[in-house]
Structure 1
């Protein structure tokens, strides 16, 4: 396992925002970075036990667990264990990369483009060699999917089928990409929750709640604004995975940082 250090900082919570009665945490886009995820899960366990002993915390993961990084299979194995743990209430959001992964598994000939967006790294994490051709044909893509089916644990399939589109806790809404401005949260469309970018990011107040999201990153620093918190810090490229704790004392950002 790579050497990981933790970086901590505190911020004031958005004015008047409530977060519920239980310890509340979130983790940004993992993208196959298992070592960083492991470090943050260990921190959540320690921190919640110290601050609220005997109370199971709520942990929301913001999607994009697979692709780009080297260890997607290990990440899904860890999350499959996490959702069965009585020590924590894990809520797992669907990201656009999980959506692409599932489409490839269902109709490989029509969704081979997944390989170009990090899918090849996911295949390698399961011990499946990606195709050498730049544009594999339908038969090659179907054979590739079949090899993946042979080695991918059933628990990983079930996990991908049970991901949530949105989680609401108090005055916070957790989504993968963002929300469509002007549309009530209950009426948001799945495609927007998974894919929206500029229309959400550029809006001064896109929702009636504070939106915690991933999907878009600009640097290894989270985006902290009065109306939204962006936790994607490009872990697969920067080596930094970010977590958030929300409580009555404010916001805590904790980042797992890979050495070197």
Structure 2
């Protein structure tokens, strides 16, 4: 069983389009037009064109591309800010909001033409005017995980010891230490992002595909066949050997 996956996008439309080109080239090489492409979440924030990223994804889904788009913690922060009244994500530290410069909400709203220099209430009203309802509904409806045979896709990871079907949204979007430090067999290879690594890394029980696009590093795309994985490059596949 074959699947493709794309790491945390963080508002980089050009990186997303390059990842799709690499996947299309691999599809041509192996003659597979049906394998799903799983986007691992964090579509928004820190990059220049969140609006463009969501436009690309919606356009592809509308034309019937076999794409799965998962919700990341940044996507949920954006979704909750765009509610009335806005809600703060419980995963954030008490002293932070989505509009804090370190999180990227201001840049995301700027991609929609929102002036983020005003007070939060004014910014919220402008965001409701300028972020299309289709984008808001898309964010609200994103699934938090996807199971495919020997693979389990989610944004951040899972709670070790909890059955995959019983995982809760807060863990799927936010977990780090307990998951990252676990060497347990989770019953499937967990493909995730959320915690940037220098290169896509296969740990045996999990595959981290977030290579830091939110911090100016390249966005990665991979192909999986069973629990084996390859990085997609301009030259073709590069095997990712478990460490």
Which interval holds the TM-score relative to the shorter structure? 0.7 to 0.9
Contact 1:33 1:235 in 2 (8 A): yes
Match of 1:82 among 46, 60, 66: 60
Secondary structure of 1:42's counterpart equals: helix
> CA offsets per residue over residues 185-219 of structure 1, 9 Å max, x none?
01111100000000000010161111000000132
Q: How does 1:19-30 map to 2 (within 5 A)?
A: 20=1, 23-30=2-9
- Calculate the TM-score normalised by the size of structure 2: 0.86
Secondary structure of 2:220's counterpart equals: strand
Match of 2:109 among 108, 123, 127: 123
Q: State how far apart, in whole Å, the 2-side matches of 1:153 and 1:255 are.
A: 34
Structure 2: runs of 5+ lacking an equivalent:
89-95, 235-243
Q: Is residue 146 of structure 1 aligned with residue 125 of structure 2?
A: yes
Moved over 6 A (4+): none
Q: State how far apart, in whole Å, the 2-side matches of 1:249 and 1:217 are.
A: 21
Structure 1: runs of 5+ lacking an equivalent:
1-19, 133-139
Q: Is residue 209 of structure 1 aligned with residue 209 of structure 2?
A: no
Match of 1:227 among 205, 216, 223: 205
Q: Partner residue of 2:16? A: 37
> CA offsets per residue over residues 44-74 of structure 1, 9 Å max, x none?
1232133125x32200000000001111110
Q: Partner residue of 1:159? A: 138
Q: Number of aligned residue pairs: give it.
A: 225
Match of 1:102 among 67, 71, 79: 79
- Calculate the TM-score normalised by the size of structure 1: 0.81
